[in-house]
């Protein structure tokens, strides 16, 4: 099968031929039709997510999100049948299950579920990682209607979903982006869009929320100091959440709760997201669609920023 893989951490991702994975007991093998790009794909390829504990599997096939059809079932009980349309998120390249490739084998009880009738596979592929992260973050932040949520990096995958899910609950979303994204973010439900290349973040936030925001979701800061500076915009008693693992060691205001978010994928969450799309609550903002052989360039581009919604890879 074709795959985009790296031969070692920090090597350039390249198109290679690999054997098809055989499904083990309790697994399904999926013929992937679409994969979606997430920053964790290039982060894993460069070794940033390596904890030194999980086995390292090279060539490491990049990618975690997928949509396609079940083409083979491993031995034992299984809730899927050959031919089912499915989508999901694998446990990641360290598990030997990347998704920028023609086939992947995953446990039938992992984060994989049926694609409901009417949901195109390419749309389903763009949901798992960013959609589940947005949904879980919203649960953790326990925001009620009219409370305020500042999202830094709101124009990308997680931010585009989070803005929609939060505004559907009447949360006031302050979307911090780089560039003039007012029209796009307003269409996703943002109350205010702040172009941080045009004006200082703090002044813009204080204009709308003089006492600070109820919650901060920082998708961007890569150091505890940068995160702490943004958490200073949260009111006393509020929360400051990072997806970049920089809350530990950050000097946050004493009465602001810092959270290091870690995604916990589940099939139930995938069903909830698919339902949200079916009901029209959630739009799937696919920005770029490209063939597998162009995936290395797309990874490079994402590393330098500029994401506007999701990039989908066609197998």
Question: Using alpha carbons only, how large is the chain's radius of gyration in Å?
Answer: 20
Query: By CB under 6 A, what part of segment 132-161 binds ligand NAP?
Result: 133, 152-153, 155-159
Spatial contact of 257 and 241, defined as CB atoms under 8 Å apart: no
Query: Does 178 help bind ligand NAP (rule: CB under 6 A)?
Result: yes
Report the residue number, 220 or 240, with the smaller CB distance to ligand NAP: 220
Among 220, 231, 247, 284, binds ligand NAP (CB under 6 A): 220
Q: Are the beta carbons of 67 and 121 closer than 8 angstroms?
A: yes
What is the C-alpha separation between 36 and 127, in angstroms, rounded?
Answer: 8
Among positions 32, 38, 143, 296, the unique one binding ligand NAP when judged by CB under 6 A? 38
Output the CA torsion 214→219→223→224 (10° steps): 20
Q: Which stretch binds ligand NAP (CB under 6 A): 50-58, 105-113, 205-213, 305-313?
A: 305-313
Examine residue 28 and tell whether it contacts ligand NAP (CB under 6 A).
no
Name which of 70 and 295 has its Cβ closer to ligand NAP: 295
112 contacts 87 by C-beta, under 8 angstroms: yes
Q: Give least dist CB 282 to ligand NAP, A.
A: 15
From the list 69-77, 95-103, 203-211, 256-264, the region that binds ligand NAP by CB under 6 A is 256-264
Cα separation, 262 vs 90, in Å, equals 15
| Residue number with CB closer to ligand NAP (34 or 103) | 34
Number of residues that bind ligand NAP (CB under 6 A): 30
Cα angle 5, 86, 168 (rounded to 5 degrees) comes to 100
x/- site string to ligand NAP, residues 43 to 62, per CB under 6 A?
x-------------------
| Token output for 279 | 């009901």
User: Which run of H or of E encompasses 182?
Assistant: helix 182-188
Report the run of H or E that residue 170 belongs to, with start and end.
none
Q: How far is CA 283 from the centre of its chain?
A: 15
Chain residues binding ligand NAP by CB under 6 A are: 38-40, 43, 129-130, 133, 152-153, 155-159, 176-179, 196, 219-220, 243-244, 261-263, 302, 305-307
């Amino acid at each position: 099968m074709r795959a985009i893989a790296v031969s070692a951490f920090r090597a350039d991702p390249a198109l290679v031929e690999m054997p098809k994975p055989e499904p083990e007991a309790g697994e399904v093998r999926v013929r992937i039709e679409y994969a979606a790009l997430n920053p964790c794909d290039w982060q894993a390829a460069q070794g940033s997510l390596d904890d030194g504990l999980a086995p390292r599997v090279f060539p490491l096939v990049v990618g975690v999100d997928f949509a396609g059809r079940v083409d083979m079932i491993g031995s034992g009980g299984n809730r899927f049948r050959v031919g089912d349309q499915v989508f999901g998120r694998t446990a990641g390249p360290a598990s030997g299950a990347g998704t920028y490739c023609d086939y992947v084998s995953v446990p039938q009880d992992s984060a994989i579920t049926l694609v409901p009738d009417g949901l195109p596979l390419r749309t389903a592929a763009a949901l798992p990682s960013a959609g589940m992260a947005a949904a879980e973050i919203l649960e953790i932040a326990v925001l009620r209607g009219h409370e305020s949520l500042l999202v830094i990096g709101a124009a990308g995958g997680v931010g585009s979903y989070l803005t929609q899910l939060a505004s559907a609950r009447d949360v006031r979303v302050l979307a911090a982006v780089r560039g003039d994204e007012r029209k796009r973010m307003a269409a996703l439900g943002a109350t205010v869009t702040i172009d941080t290349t045009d004006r200082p973040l703090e002044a813009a936030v204080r204009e709308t929320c003089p006492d600070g925001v109820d919650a901060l979701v920082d998708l961007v800061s890569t150091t505890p100091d940068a995160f702490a500076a943004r958490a200073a915009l949260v009111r006393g008693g509020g929360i400051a959440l990072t997806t970049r693992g920089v809350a530990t060691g950050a000097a946050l205001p004493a009465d602001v709760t810092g959270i290091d978010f870690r995604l916990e994928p589940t099939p139930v969450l995938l069903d909830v997201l698919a339902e949200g799309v079916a009901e029209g609550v959630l739009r799937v903002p696919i920005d770029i669609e490209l063939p597998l052989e162009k995936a290395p360039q797309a990874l490079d581009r994402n590393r330098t920023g500029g994401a506007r919604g999701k990039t989908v890879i066609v197998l």
